[in-house]
A and B are shown apart, each in its own frame.
Chain A
Amino acid sequence: MKRFGFGIKPLILVTMLLSALVLSGCGEAEKKEAKQAEAGKVTLKLAMDADPVSLDPHVQLSGGMLQYSHLVFDPLVRWTQDMKFEPRLAEKWEQIDDVTMRFHLRKDVKFHSGNPFTAEDVVYTLERLKKSVDYKGLFEPFEGAKVVDEHTVDLITKKPYGLVMPMATYIFPLDKKFYEGKDEIVKSGPSFANEHESGTGKYQVSHREQGVKMVFTQFADYWDKNTGNVEEIILTPIKNDASRVAALLSGDVDFIMPVPPTDLERIGDTKGLKLTTLPGARIITFQMNQNRREEFKNAKVRQAMVYAVDNPGIVKKIMKGFATAAGQQGPKGYAGYVEELTPRYDLEKAKQLMKEAGYENGFECTMIAPNNRYVNDEKISEAVVGMLSKINIKVNLKTMPKAQYWDQFDAQVADIQMIGWHSDTEDSANFSEFLTMCPNKETGYGQYNSGNYCNAKVDELIVASQSETDPAKRSAELQEVERILYNDAAFIPLHWQNLAWASKDNMNTEAIVNTMNFPYFGDLVIK
């Protein structure tokens, strides 16, 4: 009996735990599942590592939310694969004066609610963007939008601004009549916009179970008839890399993104599957904090560190060739890209520079890096620690999950800190504004400059580039910045991560992907 007495307690406990959960579960009525695909319907089963956090496109500025926006909403213009602008809701555009860009809108466009799309909606959307915590910084240079007539709208900036067109790719017009009055942007609680949508996009959200499944169905009145043939998209978030790949290999899904680097070869070799890759635009760097270390104030020491880091080797060995070694911030194709600023790994030169700087015997310092934010971030930082030890810099590395990392990064707890950056504007200036301009709390410049590198000339050139509307002059200014940063060894550049998508081989995957990682699923054709 004694033995039994010990056993019954946990048993009762578990039974009650389960029955309590059962009872409370009964109270919740879930929406009925959308009807399964009818016969003959073209369906894309898509698996990504996450699903959109909300139905409100302005609640968060992130890759996932922009991918969602391209499905359900439609921008004024969008990027093409070769980084040009393609008309969407705006048919054409013209520069009226220094601060005004006029957009002529399509006339035959309807929202999912049935309301017609007009210039009013663009004005409304821009105002809402300026209220969104995540977007208001990006739209700060804008004075606002003005209705010219029902299908013409002017975007007006406060000063001449060179990036009006890139910003227009972020304007996904929202249905004013649908949202007005209940359009509060709520980050962490329920709101109308978090649960309802009315865009002009090809797909409507017909079912959403956050974190489990999302179903998009084709909007019958979509204006663009010349796009792909996918009538329904079923999006399942699969967080675990191996499970996501297995889902594709077993045929349970048709398309996965991102593809973990370890499985690239396997997918490429599998019959019936297609691997599509593009060079990405996210730069991975280390910043050397000059406020914390006297040594880092010496340009020779910084240069020595750059020379000591074998970033082509990292790309080859750790990234398995799935990245492009970098010598500057912006990748090829960006306005500031300078061809001759190549990676400079040279251990002898590094040693010599350390000697010249008077640190032949080296020194000891600390480093932090995330371990689940960038591809192979932990392995990369371990490799860099090893490389720096060859010039007698002993580095104490600490890595942590991203949930903890950014607080530590902001607090600048270590001498060397890792950061990756993708330009929000697909433009070189954005890198400097966040990473290499002098940190300034009021303007927000240098917000992620934990190296505390500060060069008045760089700041001047970047500020000038913002109001420069002549592309050639702008490009020259931004290239000058890259040269200065290169010579100063303002940071240790590593590489730009590549992007990969995997799908069945009966679709035109290569035509719908781009370096921003916003696949245009509306254009997907499944044979």
Chain B
Amino acid sequence: MFAFTVKRIAQAMMVMLIIGFIGFAIKHNFGDPVRDLAGERVTPAQRAEIREKLGLNDPFMVQYVRFIKNAVQGDLGQSFFFKRPALDVIVSKAPATIELVLCSSLIIILLSVPLGIYAAIKPKHLLSRFVMGASIIGVSIPVFLTAILLIYVFSVELGWLPSFGRGETVDLWGWQSGLFTADGLRHLIMPSIALSSIMLPLFIRLIRSEMMEVLETEYVKFAWAKGIKPRRVWVVHAFKNTLLPVITVGGVQLGIMVAFTILTETVFQWQGMGSMFIESVERADTSLMVAYLVMVGFIFVIVNTVVDLVYGLVNPMVRIQGRK
């Protein structure tokens, strides 16, 4: 077990070094942040002076080693644009994104489960056909288009919902939350719908097909034969077993959803990590970009490593395979 642990940690460190290296290589070739900082009028000599101050003139490897050294101590550098430590900026933008993802996930769960089950039980029913047809449309419209359509219908034409931003937020021990004010919730509705628009149809279809498969199995047929009430067969016997693959896919999709937030956040001026990242790219705020990549990479690597180690404890087969 000890050897396995050491090996896994060494692997994790290698991965982090590589992520840092890739991030840094992008940074080096990405563009000149000084141009955005100093405007276009500044003479090349003055620009060089700023670059020198920021340490951008040092050779690639020097900058990389310095970055790694600082990163180990938890310092991911300063965001050029925000003039604050990059990590602080990322952390301050996180609540917005997390709340958005949370709400969309809720929408997806609350709608996809009943609709999916219904479409599986009564595949020929008009409602099922409608749901399935609508889901094809849902999957094929890009998120940003859905978002703009929503804004035009509900904000511009009907005037029911606010068109941008997070609205009023409350401070919960440093967490700026929009979940506890009426205004904040009103602002959440459209972005959450837009974000869930891609995943929701996917889940309905997934639940439906899994459920239909399960309904064909022997033990369900046996349950029918025993004369158990339909509701109990569907929910307890069939749906419970549908759930496993759905959760499996759901976990993977949740990660993908974080990526889709970039589009949603940009259209709704939702000040989360997604719009922060895309803006840092536009501004060539390379420090912030790299910090974001490295931090996300770091969390994924840590979690993966811990999970692997726990697996190793629980299931010795993993260790043996790993040793080979």
Contact = CB atoms under 8 A, between A and B. Distances in A.
Interface centre among A18, A28, A243 (most CB of B within 10 A): A243
A239 B304 contact: no
Interface string B35-52: 111111111111001100
A101 B170 CA distance: 53
A22 B98 contact: yes
Contacts of A250: 151, 155-156, 159, 162-163
Given A61-B39, A134-B42, A32 B171 contact: yes
Given A24-B91, A188-B78, A137 B42 contact: yes
Interface in A222-265: 236-240, 242-243, 246-247, 249-252
A510 B145 CA distance: 34
A11 B250 contact: yes
A39 interface: no
Most interface-central of B46, B245, B248, B267 (chain A CB within 10 A): B248
Contacts of B225: none
Given A403-B30, A410-B44, A11 B251 contact: yes
A56 to B, nearest CB: 10
Interface stretch (A1-9, A335-343, A518-526): A1-9
Contacts of B46: 133, 136-137
A237 B175 CA distance: 22
A38 interface: no
A242 B171 CA distance: 30
Nearest to B248: A7
Interface stretch (B12-20, B113-121, B127-135, B268-276): B268-276
B32 A243 contact: no
B286 to A, nearest CB: 9
Contacts of A82: none
Contacts of B25: none
B30 A30 contact: no
A60 interface: yes
Q: Does more than half of chain B's interface fall in helix, strand or loop, or is it mixed?
A: helix
Interface residues of A, number: 76
A252 B163 CA distance: 7
Given A14-B251, A211-B276, A9 B307 contact: yes
A238 B248 contact: no
Given A17-B299, A134-B39, A134-B42, A190 B84 contact: yes
B254 interface: yes
A60 B255 contact: no
Contact of A190 (B80, B83, B296): B83
A8 B303 CA distance: 12
A48 to B, nearest CB: 12
A210 B282 contact: no
Q: Among B78, B92, B276, which residue has the most Cβ atoms of chain A within 10 A?
A: B92
A407 B28 CA distance: 13
A242 B269 CA distance: 11
Interface string A390-421: 00000000000111101100100000000000
Given A13-B303, A28-B91, A8 B164 contact: no
Interface of A: 3-4, 6-14, 16-18, 20-22, 24-30, 32-33, 36, 47, 53-54, 60-62, 133-134, 136-138, 186-191, 194, 210-213, 236-240, 242-243, 246-247, 249-252, 372, 401-404, 406-407, 410, 424, 434, 441, 444, 447-448
Given A187-B80, A239-B266, A247-B269, 5 more contacts: A22-B175, A28-B91, A28-B92, A134-B42, A238-B269
